[in-house]
Amino acid sequence: MDFGKFKYQQSKKAQIAKKKQKIILVKEIKVRPKTDTHDLEVKAKHARRFLSEGNKIKVTVRFRGREFAHTDRGHIVLNKLLEMLEDVATVEAHPKMEGRIMFMVLAPSN
């Protein structure tokens, strides 16, 4: 068996496999605990577009100063956004805190 020919065939198989793979990006949407409903609707519209393209979404809520004492408002904002997107998204990672940031990850539903 010709080793050069074998190596060439393996590289061609790898090229074809690489061409067929689908790259999933994680887009981030940032909100604050005091974000109003209209602004959330605009963010939801952007998120809907990202999900239709097949990307995942990381929704982050950043707390500053005294807002950190009211993390329940962050849960409310994330739940509102989830209600707006429940027909096109599924929760991949439920809301959790990391320092002063609360986040959740949404994936497109099939």
**pLDDT score for 11:** 95
Mean pLDDT by 10 residues, the chain (110 residues): 91 91 88 93 95 93 92 93 92 92 91
**pLDDT score for 25:** 87
- Report the CATH number of the 26-108 domain: 3.30.110.10
Distance CA 69, CA 94 (A): 20
**pLDDT score for 3:** 92
**pLDDT score for 20:** 84
Distance CA 51, CA 25 (A): 10
The whole-model pTM stands at: 0.76
